[in-house]
């Protein structure tokens, strides 16, 4: 593993810092791991065109300007957040920065959008000003600012922001107004200092968690973005990211084997209790479904699937194979029957649907060449979903997973 890390660092360090201008413009047509598939019902040009079309819809609906050179993703367009004055969350900001850097080339405003989002991020840091983003911004009078209890961080947003900055360095170079690589390394270091557990070698839920918190030791599986962590190891030269990757893959493997061997489903939150990891109880942090496959864990197939597509990590495949087989059986191969939430044994949580569940499952389906018709159906279902019938969350996860499934996601090293 040390030798592999050394090669990553060497590869990263020897790439030139080039001037502005897209170096990895959309479409990239990334060569994914051998044996993986893309929707076979469409040509590559049709896949690319569908992504560009939806990106334009998404951008018009959600990307906002503050009027002073800053831009942000408006997460409350559908009035689903409380308080109603909520305008931005760090999770969505990370998504927006990823989308802009990945769509550069197709969108001539991508760098300006990205830089505006970077400036908004820098203007809304956590209370101790340590290069992490405050998790929520609200409208106070004519100003967008943090509320009284909003100055802590949420790990997932910071991870995506850091990765997007690394990608920006690969997309536009770092000799312009913003040194993307330098800023990425600052965020990466802050995540390790304030959002990681050095004893257990895992990520925490945010900068607010410490040894006195009831949630100390808890893990949000959807925060596990192994492809990101491998990029952080390459960029920083710090093996702690490899340790975190190995530890978290082990935790998820044991949890799936113990609690969901027939479904492969993982919970929104994992609790550390008496030396063991187990599904979190209701109201551990957010809702009665904290120990279920719900609106956090729905992103896990996207994150693990992306790691397998880009790095071929067999641990990702091993976790996704039972899930792929189960969801295909559960729905009879009909994506319209995917429910927005399940208990770990596969029992449905109410009756709902969302692209936030369908999109990540489409990414997972790419590892299964035996069921190309399932991936075709998932892709078609995603495109048929009307943007006005989804929230910011469903539409944004849909956009990012469409980029992956079309073959246009890439690693920044």
Give per-residue pLDDT as tens, 144-193.
Answer: 999 878 999 999 999 999 999 999 999 999 999 999 999 999 999 999 99
Return the pLDDT at 97. Answer: 99
Q: Is residue 181 part of a domain?
A: yes
Q: Would residue 304 count as lying in a domain?
A: yes
Q: Specify the higher pLDDT residue, 20 or 217.
A: 217
Quick one: 221 and 189 in the same domain?
no
76 with 127, same domain? yes
Is 99 a member of any domain?
yes
Residues 55 and 124 in one domain: yes
Checking if the pLDDT of 10 tops 50, the result is: no
Same domain (yes/no): 263, 369: yes
- Asked if the peptide bond before residue 27 counts as cis, ω within 30 degrees of 0, the response is yes
Q: Are 216 and 189 found together in one domain? A: no
d(CA 272, CA 214): 10
Pairwise CA distance, residues 372 & 76, whole Å: 36
> Residue 39: what pLDDT?
97
Q: Which two tokens stand for residue 176?
A: 């312009």
Nearest to 172 by CA among 96, 72, 100, 95: 100
The domain that holds 52 is classified in CATH as 1.50.10.10
Same domain, 174 and 295: no
Are residues 226 and 136 part of one domain? no
Note whether 230 and 378 are same-domain residues.
Answer: yes
- Residue percentage of the chain with pLDDT more than 90: 91
Express each pLDDT in 269-318 by its tens digit.
999 999 999 999 999 999 999 999 999 999 999 999 999 999 999 999 99
CA distance 347 to 226: 28
Q: Is residue 33 part of a domain?
A: no
Domain-ending residue, one of 193, 227, 255: 193
SS3 per residue for the chain: CHHHHHHHHHHHHHCCCCCCCCCCCCCCCCCCCCCCCCCCCCCHHHHHHHHHHHHHHHHHHHEEECCCCCEEECCCCCCCCCCCCEEEEHHHHHHHHHHHHHHECCECCHHHHHHHHHHHHHHCECCCCCCCECCEEEEECCEEECCCCCCCCCHHHHHHHHHHHHHHHHHHCCCCCCCHHHHHHHHHHHHHHHCEECCCCEECCCCCCCCCCCCCCCECHHHCCHHHHHHHHHHHCCCHHHHHHHHHHHHHHHHHHHHCCCCCCCCCCEEEECCEEEECCCCCCCCCCCCCECCCHHHHHHHHHHHHHHHCCHHHHHHHHHHHHHHHHHHCCCHHHCCCCECCCCCECCCCCCHHHHHHHHHHHCCCCCCHHHHHHHHHHHHHCCHHHCCHHHHHHHHHHHHHHCCCCCCCC
Q: Give the residue-averaged pLDDT of 87-106.
A: 98
107-158 tens-digit pLDDT: 999 999 999 999 999 999 998 778 999 999 999 988 999 987 899 999 999 9
pLDDT at residue 7 in the model: 37
Q: Is residue 17 part of a domain?
A: no
Where is the domain boundary, 193, 228, 248?
193
Distance, CA of 304 to CA of 312 (rounded, Å): 10
Mean pLDDT of 63-92: 96
In a domain, 25, yes or no: no
Q: Domain span at residue 134?
A: 41-193
Residue 41 has pLDDT above 90, yes or no: no
pLDDT tens digits for range 363-394: 999 999 999 999 999 999 999 999 999 999 99
Same domain, 109 and 66: yes
What integer best gives the mean pLDDT of the chain?
Answer: 94
Check residue 8 and give its pLDDT: 38
Active-site annotation holds for 353? no
Q: Same domain, yes or no, for 220 and 174?
A: no
- Are 148 and 53 found together in one domain? yes
Q: Do 219 and 267 fall within a single domain?
A: yes
Decide which of 163, 193, 223 is a domain's last residue. Answer: 193
Is 212 annotated in the active site?
A: no
| Residue 278 forms part of a structural domain | yes
Whether the predicted pLDDT of 222 surpasses 90: yes
Contact 206, 219 (CB under 8 A): no
Q: Catalytic pick from 107, 156, 195, 313?
A: 156
Q: What is the arithmetic mean of pLDDT over 222-228?
A: 98
Residue 69 lies in a domain: yes
Q: Which of 48, 91, 107, 183 is catalytic?
A: 91
Q: Which of 116, 126, 128 is nearest to 70 (CA)?
A: 116
Number of folded domains in the chain? 2
Q: Worst-scoring range by mean pLDDT, 6-15, 245-254, 258-267, 276-285? A: 6-15
């Amino acid at each position: 593993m040390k030798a592999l890390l050394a090669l990553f660092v060497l590869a990263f360090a020897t790439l030139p810092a080039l001037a502005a201008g897209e170096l990895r413009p959309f479409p990239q047509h990334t060569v994914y791991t051998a044996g993986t598939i893309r929707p076979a019902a469409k040509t590559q040009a049709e896949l690319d065109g569908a992504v560009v079309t939806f990106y334009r819809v998404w951008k018009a609906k959600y990307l906002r300007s503050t009027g002073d050179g800053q831009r942000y993703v408006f997460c409350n367009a559908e009035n689903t957040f409380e308080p109603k004055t909520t305008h931005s969350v760090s999770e969505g900001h990370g998504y927006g920065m990823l989308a802009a850097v990945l769509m550069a080339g197709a969108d001539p405003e991508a760098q300006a959008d990205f830089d505006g989002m970077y400036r908004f991020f820098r203007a809304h840091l956590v209370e101790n000003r340590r290069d992490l983003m405050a998790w929520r911004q609200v409208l106070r009078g004519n100003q967008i600012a943090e509320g009284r209890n909003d100055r802590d961080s949420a790990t997932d947003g910071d991870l995506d922001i850091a990765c997007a900055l690394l990608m920006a360095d690969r997309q536009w170079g770092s000799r312009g107004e913003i040194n993307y690589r330098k800023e990425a390394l600052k965020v990466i270091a802050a995540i390790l200092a304030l959002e990681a557990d050095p004893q257990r070698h895992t990520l925490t839920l945010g900068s607010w968690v410490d040894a006195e918190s009831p949630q100390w030791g808890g893990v949000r599986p959807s925060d596990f973005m192994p492809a990101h962590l491998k990029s952080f190891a390459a960029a920083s030269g710090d093996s702690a990211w490899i340790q975190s990757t190995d530890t978290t893959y082990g935790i998820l493997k044991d949890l799936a084997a113990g609690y969901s061997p027939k479904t492969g489903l993982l919970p929104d939150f994992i609790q550390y209790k008496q030396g063991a990891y187990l599904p979190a109880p209701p109201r551990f942090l957010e809702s009665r479904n904290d120990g279920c496959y719900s609106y956090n864990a729905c992103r896990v197939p996207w994150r693990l699937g992306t790691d397998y597509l880009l790095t071929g990590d067999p641990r990702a495949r091993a976790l996704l194979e039972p899930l792929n087989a189960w969801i295909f059986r559960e729905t009879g191969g009909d994506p319209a029957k995917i429910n927005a939430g399940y208990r770990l044994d596969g029992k449905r949580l109410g009756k709902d649907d969302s692209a936030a569940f369908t999109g990540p499952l489409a990414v997972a389906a790419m590892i299964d060449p035996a069921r190309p018709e399932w991936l075709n159906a998932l892709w078609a279902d995603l495109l048929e979903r009307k943007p006005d019938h989804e929230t910011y969350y469903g539409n944004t996860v849909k956009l990012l997973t469409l980029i992956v499934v079309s073959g246009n996601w890439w690693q920044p090293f």
